[in-house]
Amino acid sequence: MRRKIIIWFLLVFIVIGVFFSFLISSHNKNLKKNIITTVEENNRYIVGINYPKVGIERLDKIIKDYVDNEYNYFIKNYGDSDYLIDRDELNIDCQFYILNNNYISISLTTYINSYKLAQPVNEVKSFFYSIKANKMLSLGEILDIDEQYRLLDYIKKQFNSKHYNAIIDGNLDNIITISSLNRIPFYIDQDNFCLYFNPDMLSSDYYDIIKINVPTEYIKFKFKINYKLISSPTIVYGVDRESIDPKGKVVALTFDDGPSFYTEDILKILKSNDVCATFFILGNKVETYQETLKISLKNGNELGNHSYNHKWLSRLSTTNLLDQINSTQNIIKETLNYTPIYLRPTYGSVTTRIRKNTDLKIALWTVDTKDWKIRNVNRIVEKATTGIEDGDIILMHDIFERSAEALKEIIPILKKQGFQFVTLSELDEIKLLRGEFNGDYF
């Protein structure tokens, strides 16, 4: 009898356990890791914005409100420059990471460049959100008081040794205090704990954000971080493609600014039509969308470099330009074990400096579907299928639902016109075979 009771108890425990683990897992399934990219361009200004959307209404609203505020501030105060001088630029970059299935760490970096400014404006804002507590947490809330003092000590040492000029003489103790700790933007992911110091905290002739990397073994958080073991991927990409007749007409579909929520749909459409394309991706989205990118490569598509966060490359200093290109190459290599060979500069603007500073081949386009501006699917289809010539490179964006919708129609129409679809390196190969290639890429 007693044994029977014990067995019943065990059964009940198991059922409850399964029920709760189901609850927890279904709760986490609601987390959607997405980075939204919006790009806007006219005669007066250039705007590139990246921000995360995770499917938690409250957090998503806070992030969106912050981004909208920054955008509205920019439109109100800048963006009125004369095209002949130079266009003003707003760029917002984001990093985000979900820690232990509970904490979401987000940093947003705003960059404004204008003829009105002696130096570009740089500012970081961070958010650290607990899903279980349903609220934002400050550094003070995730570190014990002893750890806070240890952190202060570390920061001061870093400033004294590396950033002495950034601090007004003797002011370090006033700037970096226990109470100021809660105002310092920070970001935590599987291998970093970074603190950011905005120029407004620093001496007046300092315009850059100072980033201090704290070794993760140095500080103990109130929660334990399950650090991910990083192993380099061993993936074999590429499929046997139906052989392409080099004498036949070819066209290359290219997609910029992704990956996004819509990229998987686009990949499905490409695959079901037995078509490959080239995707010019942003470095800051590689980790979030690594599974999508793996599928993309597995299906035989090509990936190209489209900068790290869509800054206007022609305006950047050489150091920052190289950083945009190389950090993107590096993260693609590290995450996907793949090396892009093409660079498509943002806003299609190429300068001699860009050409001089990279070995990547510059790849622009010959047909712009204007899918970033045109909201009507039929008109996008029309742009992509009217007057297309052999060797054309068509520009689209895999960040809009309408682009995916249009693609469903574009492929069959172009096939009917006798086109074969190629990636950019296949296009170059064909040109080489035909003797049309003169070694110049735009």
Residues that bind Zn ion (CB under 5 A): 256-257
**Residue 342: CB minimum distance to Zn ion, A:** 14
Match 């920061």 to its residue by tokens: 155
Q: In terms of Cα–Cα distance, which of 187, 206, 16 is closest to 122?
A: 206
Q: Return the number of the residue (55 or 348) whose C-beta is nearest Zn ion.
A: 348
**Residue 251: CB minimum distance to Zn ion, A:** 20
Element (H, E) at 10: helix 2-29
Q: In terms of Cα–Cα distance, which of 273, 270, 330 is closest to 296?
A: 270
Backbone torsions φ then ψ of 173, nearest 5 degrees:
-65, -25
**Residue 256: CB minimum distance to Zn ion, A:** 4
Q: Return the number of the residue (199 or 283) whose C-beta is nearest Zn ion.
A: 283
**Residue 306: CB minimum distance to Zn ion, A:** 6
Pair 290, 336: CB distance under 8 Å: yes
Pair 325, 358: CB distance under 8 Å: yes
Residues forming beta bridges with residue 45, ordered by sequence position:
88
Residue nearest to Zn ion (CB): 256
Q: Return the number of the residue (257 or 398) whose C-beta is nearest Zn ion.
A: 257
CA distance 68 to 64: 6
**Residue 64: CB minimum distance to Zn ion, A:** 21
Phi-psi region of 274 (alpha: psi -120 to 50; beta: other; left: phi over 0): left
CA distance 196 to 201: 10
Pairing of strands 367-368, 135-136: unpaired
CA distance 45 to 48: 10
CA distance 210 to 164: 11
**Residue 350: CB minimum distance to Zn ion, A:** 13
Match 């470095």 to its residue by tokens: 283
Q: Return the number of the residue (172 or 364) whose C-beta is nearest Zn ion.
A: 364
Pair 210, 202: CB distance under 8 Å: yes
Element (H, E) at 356: helix 352-356
**Residue 401: CB minimum distance to Zn ion, A:** 18
Q: Return the number of the residue (198 or 305) whose C-beta is nearest Zn ion.
A: 305
Q: Return the number of the residue (257 or 428) whose C-beta is nearest Zn ion.
A: 257
CA distance 404 to 419: 19
Q: Return the number of the residue (187 or 347) whose C-beta is nearest Zn ion.
A: 347
CA distance 372 to 403: 9
Q: Return the number of the residue (256 or 426) whose C-beta is nearest Zn ion.
A: 256
Q: Return the number of the residue (256 or 398) whose C-beta is nearest Zn ion.
A: 256
**Residue 348: CB minimum distance to Zn ion, A:** 8
**Residue 332: CB minimum distance to Zn ion, A:** 16
Please tell me whether the peptide bond between 233 and the residue prior to it is cis, using omega within 30 degrees of 0: no
